[in-house]
Amino acid sequence: MDSNTLLKTQTILLVDDDKPMLLGLKTFLERNGYNVAACEKSTDAIKMAEESLPDLIVCDIMMPQMDGFKVREAISSNPRTHNIPFLFLSARASLDDKLKGLDDGADDYITKPFEPRELVARIQAVFRRQDKSHQGATEEINRQIERIQSEVTHNFSHELRTPMMQILMSLDMALRDKYDDPNELKYFVETALSRSHRLYTLIDDLTFLSNYDMGNKINFRQKVDIKNDFTLPIALLQDQYKEKDLRVKINIAEGLTIHAPRREFRLACAHIVDNSMKFSPPATPILVDLSPNGDSGCILTVTNYGPVIPVELHEKVFKRYYQVSQGLAREYGGLGVGLTIARIVARALDGDVTILPTEHGCCTQMILAPAPLEMF
């Protein structure tokens, strides 16, 4: 794209109470390829800037009601307009006046009388600086995206390959060697089974996220089977973390009824408990409480005595791949999607998942709103 094409896409808001000057500059700038909106009153200029969001504001300083400095202050204090470049026009030519204009956030300062071609040159310079700034920001964003993509790819490979290798090695040992002690054979078979569950969970997570991104419905209501959809998945998790000797205590309210999509409910609960087990120190307690929320909703609260999550990270931990993006030498495994999935499920069911404030350990709570069963 050449410079003339760029100029035609730029819109300038011109503010000056000197009407002949205003109209003359407007005509000159339009002949140079700019779209120009002209305004005589400084108070009107603030409203026009918010409504039209020009690419540049060229503003006189000496004006009644509000001078140019106050206009610049109002523009910069508005979230919608604070990034608009600003160029001052003024009959004040002293160094102090120029410094004040630049200190107040102006991108350039030109004194009257001036050659109109100088104004165009200054305007072009402002746009070139802005383009370079945007280009630099874009390049930095692209570098960050590439870094995260590299980490995600590496960790996907690691998280999928590791359990697969353990499964193959355990089955190979079980099939090739003869064991006098059946417990030795049992160990390798149990290892293969445990890693198979781990691999299935990873694939299930990726499938869920893919379906969610494609807009598949996850807010329908079924009657949850507490044993199969809650207790059994937690028991499987305990087997995966048995070397940590965690003391899991589960409290389920008597007569509890929950209406939620079974697969998604099971996935959300398992991830919250898994996250707690993963970060818990060995031989420490984990408290799992499932209580009613109305007739068919529920409140799941999982408390551990692992590291305290700083308040400033209470929302970040729900971002997709957050754990993954902590670098290739991260301390804990996983894809960093567990809490993301749990929150997606909860919010689809008019609830939420949050990290509750606590002085010791971590307390995660999921709330699901009550709702009637859907007929299929």
The per-residue pLDDT for range 228-239, each reduced to its tens digit, is: 999 999 998 898
Q: Return d(Cα 338, Cα 351) in angstroms, integer.
A: 17
How far apart CA 85 and CA 66 sit, in angstroms, is 19
The three-class DSSP label of residue 108 is: strand
How far is residue 302's CA from residue 231's CA, in Å, rounded to a whole number? Answer: 14
pLDDT in tens, 248-292: 999 999 999 999 999 999 999 999 999 999 889 999 999 999 999
Domains present along the chain, CATH in parentheses: 3-114 (3.40.50.2300), 150-213 (1.10.287), 222-368 (3.30.565.10)
Inform me whether the pLDDT recorded for 154 exceeds 70.
no
Give residue 56's identity as a one-letter amino acid code.
L
pLDDT tens readout for residues 32-63 = 889 999 999 888 999 999 998 999 999 888 88
Q: At what angle do helices 232-240 and 182-213 cross, to 10 degrees?
A: 120
Segment 75-132, tens digit of pLDDT? 888 888 888 888 888 765 444 554 554 455 566 778 777 777 888 888 888 888 877 7
pLDDT at position 10 over 90: no
Rounded CA gap, 332 and 244, in Å? 14
Residues with Cβ within 8 Å of 350's Cβ and at least 6 positions away in sequence, in order, are 368, 369, 371
Please report, for residues 134, 231, 234, 345, 351, the alpha-carbon distance to residue 238 in angstroms, rounded to integers and kept in the order given.
Answer: 50, 11, 6, 23, 27
> Is the link from the previous residue into 370 a cis peptide, with omega within 30 of 0?
no
Closest CA to 287 of 252, 261, 327, 262: 252
Q: Could you write out the DSSP letters of every residue in 39-106?
A: ES-HHHHHHHHHHH--SEEEEESS-SSS-HHHHHHHHHHSTTTTTS-EEEEES--SHHHHHHHHHTT-
